[in-house]
Amino acid sequence: MTKENRELQKSLMEAKERIVNGDVKQGTELIGKVVNSSNIREANWVICNIIDAAECKYVVETLESIGKIFDITTCGNLKRVITCHAMRGVLNEYVDIALGALVKRRREDLLDRLAQELMNADPKFLVKLASAYGELGNTRKQGDLLRVACEKGLTEACRNINQVYPRLS
């Protein structure tokens, strides 16, 4: 490991600790100072560590601040990206990215766990999850989630049910 690489790793560990301890602003500023296009591959692990270790509010805040420079699809705990955003009521591109990666990996088991955990979340999250099931070809679960979202008053879900259920018969 080169001296430059050791310094990068040390700075990233410090930034991660700051974020995990709640100082997201200083942690993300440090990451912004040390990460660039030539070392992003060596630095990507830090976002995965933050997703795993930080409180949900810090995960969401960190992704909103510096998430665009990282590839979160390489992270193992994408389910946590979605649950953290749902807990905070923030529906954004990181939910879409995480769901897209789970679909690409064909991780319907994780979608099933998300479906259970998100039943009390904003119904817009159920619509997103329903769409992921649809991409995997599971129209039954897609329709079930849309029905729940519709029952919670989301008119978009009610309209989408009519598009799903004709395919079920």
**Tens of pLDDT, residues 98-146:** 999 999 999 999 999 999 999 999 999 999 999 999 999 999 999 999 9
Q: How far is CA 54 from CA 26, 51, 125, in A?
A: 15, 6, 22
Angle between helices 155-168 and 123-135 (to 10 degrees): 30
Tell me, yes or no, whether 18 and 81 share the same domain: no
Tell me, yes or no, whether 92 and 158 share the same domain: yes
Domain total of the chain: 2
Read off the pLDDT of residues 139-158 as tens digits, 9 standing for 90 and up. Answer: 999 999 999 999 999 999 99
Q: What is the span of the domain harbouring residue 84?
A: 77-169
Share of the chain above pLDDT 70, in %: 96
Give the model's pLDDT for residue 161: 85
pLDDT above 50 (res 77):
yes
Q: CA 99 to CA 82: how far, in whole Å?
A: 8
pLDDT above 60 (res 159):
yes
pTM reported for the whole predicted model: 0.90
Q: How far is CA 156 from CA 77, 116, 162, 163, in A?
A: 29, 21, 11, 11
Write out the two tokens for 59.
Answer: 């995960």
Which of 72, 96, 112 finishes a domain? 72
Tell me the CATH number at 140: 1.25.40.350
Tell me, yes or no, whether 144 and 67 share the same domain: no
